[in-house]
Amino acid sequence: MIGPYTPDFVGDVALAQQLAEVGVALLMFGVGLHFHVNDLVAVRRIAVPGALGQSAIATPAATLLTAGQGW
């Protein structure tokens, strides 16, 4: 409801971006605290092929999409 184009609202976009980056860093830190290598080893038969498959599909798809947009 409130954004940079809201009438009579003056927001600091640069500050909002910096706070967003700090929030992402804190979120990643929190996830890292709950991460256990044993959990990853337990699901390696699903996680490794899934990650490789996702990368194999997403990379060409993103390349085609950006090339189609003229990037």
Structure tokens at 10: 């003056």
The DSSP result for 6-57, as a single string, is STT----HHHHHHHHHHHHHHHHHHHHHT--HHHHHHTHHHHHHHHHHHHHH
User: Using alpha carbons only, what angle is made at residue 29 by residues 28 and 33, rounded to the nearest 5 degrees?
Assistant: 115
Residues 2 and 11: beta-carbon distance below 8 Å: yes
Q: Tell me the per-residue pLDDT of 5-59, one tens digit each, with 9 for 90 and over.
A: 777 766 788 888 999 999 999 999 998 888 888 988 999 999 999 999 999 999 9
This prediction has a pTM of 0.50
Q: What is the pLDDT of residue 1?
A: 66
**Cβ neighbours, 10 Å, residue 47:** 13
